[in-house]
Amino acid sequence: MAKTIDARLPGVLLPWYDGVKRELPWRENREPYRVWLSEIMLQQTRVEAVKGYFARFLEMLPDIRSLAECDDETLHKLWEGLGYYSRVRNLKKAAITIMEDHGGNFPREYESVRALPGIGDYTAGAICSICFDLPTPAVDGNVLRVAARLTEDFTPIDQPAVKKEVGAALAAIYPQRAGDFTQALMELGATLCGPNRKPDCDACPCREFCRAFQNGTAEQLPVKTPKKQRRVEEKTVLILSCEGRYALTKRHDGGLLAGLWQFPDFPGQPELPAVLEKVEELGLKPREIYKQVEKKHIFTHVEWRMNGYYLEVSEPEGPYTWLTAEEMDAQAAMPTAYRQFRE
C-alpha cells in the first residue's frame, strides 16, 4: 500500500459528507457509550439490521452502569440474532472496567480506550475521533477499499502491514474535524465506493486525484488473499416437545456460542433408527415423529450442516430445561444456528 494519501482528501470529502450523510441513530450525538455500542454492533452486521437492536439495547441499558450490572441472560437475549456473541460479553467486561478503573466515565485517551476488553485499533480509533476529535484513524474494510483505489495499490488489503500503513497515511492528513472525517471515510466506503458493487466514480468527490479512477482500475480493487475453504461439520438437532414444552440445554461458558441456549444436538447425521436410539439413551421415549428438515449455518471458518428432527416424547424428562414457545422467546437467548429450527 502506498504510504501517502493525497492531502486534498479532507477538503473534498468533508463538504460531500455534510451534504449526503445518512441519518443514523448513533449519529444523533457523540456520547461515547452510544458510539461505542454502535461500533461493536456494526462489526460484521448490516446497518439496517443494527438499527432495531441499537434502540432496544439503549432502552434496556441506557448507560455504562446499567450495562455493567446487567445479568448475562438479559444481555444475551438483547443480542439474540446479532451473532458473534463474544462482542456483547466483552461489552459488559469493558463496562465493568470503566466503572471500576475510570469512575464510570468513558476514558478519553486512545491507549486507555484501546486497553478495554473487546476494543481493537479500529474501534478505539473510531471512538476517539468521533467522540473527542482526536486524529486517530479507524481503518476497516471500507476504508481499506477506499485507500486501495485512491492510491491504486494492488497489495492484498488483508495483510496486517497494509492496515498499519493506511492508518499512518491517514493520520498524516487528519483535519481538525477529525470525527466528521472518520465518518466521511466510512460513508464513502459504504456507499459510492461500497463492497460488492460497481464503484460510482462519477459521483465521487475524490475522482480528480483517485489513481484507480484515472487509470480505469477501480473495479479491480481492492485485492484480497484467497480465502481458505471452510471446514464442514455435520450435526443432528433434536427438537423435542412434550405437552407444548420444548427441551433446551445451555451451552458451556467457553468456546463458540458460550452461555447460550440451544436444542439438544450431537455430531454426525445417522439414519432415523439411530436417531431414535439416541433419544432413548437420553432417557426419553419417542411417541411421534413430526418431520425432518435440513438446515445449514455458516460461521467465519466453519459451516454447520444440520439435520433437525421434530419429535414428541412421552414425558418431559432428561437433563433439559422444558419451556413453552412463549417462554423460549421471552427468556432463552438462542443463536441463529438453532433458532432457525424454531417453527
Residue 225 within any structural domain of the chain: no
Instruction: State the Cα–Cα distance between residues 171 and 155, nearest whole angstrom.
Output: 20
C-alpha cell at 327: 417462554
Range of the domain at 84: 9-220
Q: What is the CATH number of the domain that holds 90?
A: 1.10.340.30
Residue 3 within any structural domain of the chain: no
Catalytic residue among 39, 80, 165, 187: 39
Cβ–Cβ under 8 Å, residues 15 and 39: no
Specify whether 99 is located in the same domain as 164: yes
Specify whether 211 is located in the same domain as 238: no
Q: What is the CATH number of the domain that holds 264?
A: 3.90.79.10
Residue 52 within any structural domain of the chain: yes
pLDDT of residue 156: 96
Specify whether 193 is located in the same domain as 128: yes
pLDDT of residue 2: 52
Specify whether 237 is located in the same domain as 170: no
Diameter of the chain measured on Cα atoms? 73
**Phi-psi sector, 147: left (phi>0), alpha (psi -120 to 50), beta:** alpha
Residue 4 within any structural domain of the chain: no
Specify whether 40 is located in the same domain as 101: yes
pLDDT of residue 257: 85
SS3 assignment, position 258: coil
What pairs with residue 235 in β-bridges?
A: 267, 306
Specify whether 118 is located in the same domain as 255: no
Instruction: State the Cα–Cα distance between residues 174 and 167, nearest whole angstrom.
Output: 10
Burial of 293 (0-12, 13-18, 19+ CB in 10 A): middle
Specify whether 188 is located in the same domain as 53: yes
Angle between helices 160-171 and 141-151 (to 10 degrees): 70
Specify whether 172 is located in the same domain as 254: no
SS3 assignment, position 15: helix
Specify whether 137 is located in the same domain as 247: no
Residue at a domain's end among 175, 196, 220: 220
39 has catalytic annotation: yes
pLDDT of residue 44: 84
H/E element, 231 = strand 231-242
Cβ–Cβ under 8 Å, residues 152 and 217: yes
Instruction: State the Cα–Cα distance between residues 291 and 311, nearest whole angstrom.
Output: 8
Residue at a domain's end among 220, 240, 262: 220
Residue 1 within any structural domain of the chain: no
Specify whether 216 is located in the same domain as 261: no
Specify whether 192 is located in the same domain as 235: no
Specify whether 271 is located in the same domain as 300: yes
- For the chain, residues with pLDDT lower than 50 are none
Residue 76 within any structural domain of the chain: yes
Domain count, the chain: 2
Residue at a domain's end among 160, 192, 220: 220
